[in-house]
Amino acid sequence: MLRIAKILEKTIVGFIRKFKTTPYGSDAVYLQQFHGGGDDYNPPEGVKALYDSLGNNPRDGIIFLFQDNTERKSAPGEKRLYSVSADGSSVTAEIHLKNNGDIVIIPSGKILTSGVWEHTGDLNVSGTITGGVVVAQNGSSGTFSNSVVAQDGIVTGGS
């Protein structure tokens, strides 16, 4: 039978995250986190969670679903991933897959990537793009409309 508990403390030992919880109307229980492959979710203390035990053995308690106090924004057919501050009081980053095909990424900090970033289609930027080396495809040369000068596909001057 699934039960609801409130998370009090967390510990991580190797790849296992354990929670000290208080099931409603009960003493503290220690539970091991289970989740979908590829997930690593560390909920803030104080959130509600569903838990149960394997084989009706209370010593084999597992915790696997969490409910935080974040506003629900997804419309039918949408998926939204988000992280919250350590105390759970605010959303700090989100990726929202909209039902119209848009993907909305909202960080409160930076978007950090590594590797090669490939894009096909238009790129509309409101702001600036900076880089150590900017290369124009097809060996472009000349002065562009915003006074950037390129030689053999490499920006060599301008502003």
The winner for highest mean pLDDT among 46-60, 89-103, 132-146 is 89-103
- Token readout for 2 is 């699934």
Rounded to an integer, the average pLDDT of 129-147 is 64
pLDDT at 143 over 60: no
pLDDT digits (tens, 9 = 90+) for 17-45: 999 988 877 788 899 999 888 888 999 88
Share of the chain above pLDDT 70, in %: 88
Rounded to an integer, the average pLDDT of 88-99 is 96
Q: Are the C-beta atoms of residues 33 and 18 closer than 8 Å to each other?
A: yes
* Cα–Cα distance for residue pair 66/41, rounded to 1 Å: 10
106-108-110 Cα angle (round to 5): 85
How far from 150 is each of 111, 123, 128, 156, 159, CA to CA, in Å? 28, 20, 18, 5, 11
Specify whether the backbone of 38 is left (phi greater than 0), alpha (psi in -120 to 50) or beta.
left
Mean pLDDT of the chain: 86
Please give the model's pTM, rounded to 2 decimal places: 0.72
What b/e string do you get for 61-72 counting C-beta neighbours within 10 Å, with b at 16 or more?
A: bebeeeeeebee
Model confidence band, residue 139 (pLDDT cutoffs 50, 70, 90) = low
* Cα–Cα distance for residue pair 82/105, rounded to 1 Å: 10
pLDDT digits (tens, 9 = 90+) for 103-113: 999 999 999 99
